[in-house]
A and B are shown apart, each in its own frame.
Chain A
Amino acid sequence: MSDITKQSLSDLVENIKSKKLSSSEVTKAFVERSEKSKELNTYITEDYENALVKAKKFDEKPNYHQKLPGIPIAVKDLFCTKDLRTTAGSKILNNFVPTYESTVTQNIWNEGAILMGKLNCDEFAMGSSNETSFFGNVQNPIDKNLVPGGSSGGSSSAVSAQLTPITIGTDTGGSIRQPASFTGTVGLKPTYGSCSRYGIVAFASSLDQAGPMAQNVKDCALLQEVISTYDEKDSTSIDFKRNEYSKELTKNIKGKKIGIPKEYRIDNMPKEIEDLWKKGVEYAKDCGAEIIDISLPHTNYALPTYYIVAPAEASSNLARYDGVKYGFRAEGENLIDMYEKTRSEGFGAEVQRRIMIGTYVLSSGYYDAYYLKAQKVRKLIKNDFDEAYKKVDAILTPSTPSSAFKIGEKTNDPVSMYLNDIFTVPVNLAGLPGISIPAGHDSKGYPLGLQIIGKAFDEQNILNIAYAMEEKINFKNNITDWWLK
């Protein structure tokens, strides 16, 4: 089979189980395509040789009862992988080799998958374009010099370019859904507490959540089923009844009530996004859903709230990078000088900016005015969703206010970069699940995504709605392999 890398995850699993393909054949195909795709800069660390050895081992003693039998997978470099360098896209972790495995990746290997390498991302997941990575920006396979979104930009690019059959990202304010939307792929941010945060390099602990990024909804459901487990190593992991999402997946969404929040009609919204949203409403109706107008009155306050809460938590989480126990160290005249130089040289500009914001809003005299205020507004935002969900089962919005932009276009204006996350951030603040599915193209031919937001722990429902709409939308990605060498 010459077109192995074109196959969906579900097809590959089926073909390995029915012995039409071996794990070695599949792994070799993805490794070879990855090697020819260096121009995209998706990988920070490649682990191809080990992957091929593991694939051979799988073929010698295959276990076809596993959910991901012998499937090669590359993951975002924010997940700690035992004995394999984990950088979080930062110079400060350039040489860090974890002594333990993140729970989410362990769950994937437990189901038979094989690690191929670590994917590029914005430094400490802080960014919306993958341009803050110490390891350079990532190309979007859709077009040259186009950002793949962020922070899971290496992940979105790798899935879209078919360098890995599926992957995992993390989403603190949109870092799975926005890059999925920019690359014509599917990305799910699960409910806060669904996937363990153990072993994920921390950005903002009350918002961070891992999730699958895939070529289609069915694959996405399968990986979600694998990665979502209760974990006593994460004190915010929640013990709830988890579905077998892929098995219970159905296109029957007849009578489901889908809300359209009027506040998402932002000022200066491009007509293409407005049109896409209208089309989305029609698709949902075609699937038998009932459309209901709703209001989420505090939507406009979500981004300012996020840019207090997330940097505050980040400044606290990143205090551990002091050049002593692991990571990069710059020499200094004394201990304090060593700390200050290490952090000044080890962190990139965006990370330093956010540490500064966070330190300021938590500092004496400003805590109440900023941090406490933001936590109160966060409550109002969550209340909005609670109110809306008395009337509807899910909410439909655009995923992003625009299609992918050019590399360098927004790097000098942090606020315009932050505005990218306007439709995704409220979901993290309220701890809800949200999925982005590709739904159309703009006039340049770049993909655009629609977001379906669910009630807490109701991943099955939004996966079902996405599954039904996916069929109606029948999206095709225009990938020309321009980067292949």
Chain B
Amino acid sequence: MSIDLKTIKHISKLSRISVDEKKAEKLAGDLNSIFDFIEKLNELKTENVEPLTSVAETTLILRPDEVKSKNLREQVIKNSPKENEDYFVVPKVIE
């Protein structure tokens, strides 16, 4: 299998990471060598195997939906790279 530059551009778009030509070529090389290594799994027949989604064999526990933390609005907002009073600020999305 080979991951070409077009695929890299597609993944880059899906993962919201911009890549230029040079970076795309480097990534294609790296990803191809990693996928060559991953292809080993195809040696195994797994049609009748149940997928393992979690090693912790527990059922989820329900609890009352109560707010337990104090009002942290100010501290939370302070971590934002750009804020205006009580709001996070992002580039304009509606023209």
Contact = CB atoms under 8 A, between A and B. Distances in A.
B69 interface: yes
Interface string A392-416: 0000000000000000000000110
B53 A375 contact: yes
The number of chain A residues touching the other chain, given as a range, is: 35 or more
B84 interface: no
18 contacts: A99-B72, A193-B55, A206-B55, A298-B44, A301-B43, A305-B41, A324-B81, A324-B88, A326-B80, A326-B81, A340-B12, A343-B17, A363-B11, A363-B14, A375-B52, A375-B53, A380-B46, A380-B49
Interface in B61-95: 61, 63, 69, 72, 75-76, 78-82, 88, 90-93
A379 B49 contact: yes
Question: What 4 pairs across the A-B complex have the smallest Cβ distances?
Answer: A431-B55, A375-B51, A329-B81, A326-B79
A285 interface: no
Contacts of B5: none
Interface of A: 95-97, 99-100, 192-193, 206, 232, 235-236, 238, 298, 300-301, 303-305, 307-308, 315, 319, 322-329, 332-341, 343-344, 347, 352-353, 355-357, 359-360, 363, 370, 372-380, 382, 414-415, 418, 429-431, 456
Contact of B91 (A206, A235, A335): A335
Nearest to A413: B33
Interface string B1-33: 001000110011011111100000001001101
Given A323-B81, A334-B91, A353-B31, 5 more contacts: A95-B79, A315-B15, A319-B16, A370-B38, A430-B55
Say what secondary structure dominates the interface of chain A. Answer: helix
Contacts, number: 162
B23 to A, nearest CB: 8
Contacts of B42: 373
A373 B15 CA distance: 22
A322 to B, nearest CB: 7
Contact of A344 (B7, B19, B37): B19
A232 B53 contact: no
A377 B18 contact: no
A296 B93 CA distance: 54
B91 A304 contact: no
Given A324-B88, A357-B34, A431 B56 contact: yes
Nearest to B33: A415
Contact of B41 (A238, A301, A327, A414): A301
Contacts of A353: 27, 30-31, 34
Contacts of B12: 340, 356
Contact of A356 (B17, B50, B58, B93): B17
B41 A341 contact: no
A324 B58 CA distance: 35
B27 A356 contact: yes
A377 B56 contact: no
A332 B82 CA distance: 13
Contacts of A352: 17, 27
Given A304-B38, A326-B80, A359-B11, A193 B46 contact: no
A426 B64 CA distance: 37
Contacts of B41: 301, 304-305, 308, 373-374, 377
B55 A382 contact: yes
A325 B79 contact: yes
A327 B63 CA distance: 31
A275 to B, nearest CB: 28
B46 to A, nearest CB: 4
Given A304-B38, A376-B51, A325 B88 contact: yes
Contacts of A379: 49-52
Contact of B15 (A99, A356, A418, A431): A356
A174 to B, nearest CB: 16
B33 A380 contact: no
A347 B27 CA distance: 14
Contacts of A370: 38
Contacts of A303: 37
Nearest to A233: B68
Contacts of A372: 51
B58 A338 contact: no
A134 B64 CA distance: 40
Contacts of A333: 91
Contacts of A305: 41
B38 to A, nearest CB: 5
A232 B61 contact: yes
B72 to A, nearest CB: 5
Contact of A307 (B14, B37, B44, B78): B37
- Count chain A CB atoms within 10 A of each CB in B17, B31, B51, B90 and give the residue with the most: B17
B56 A193 contact: yes
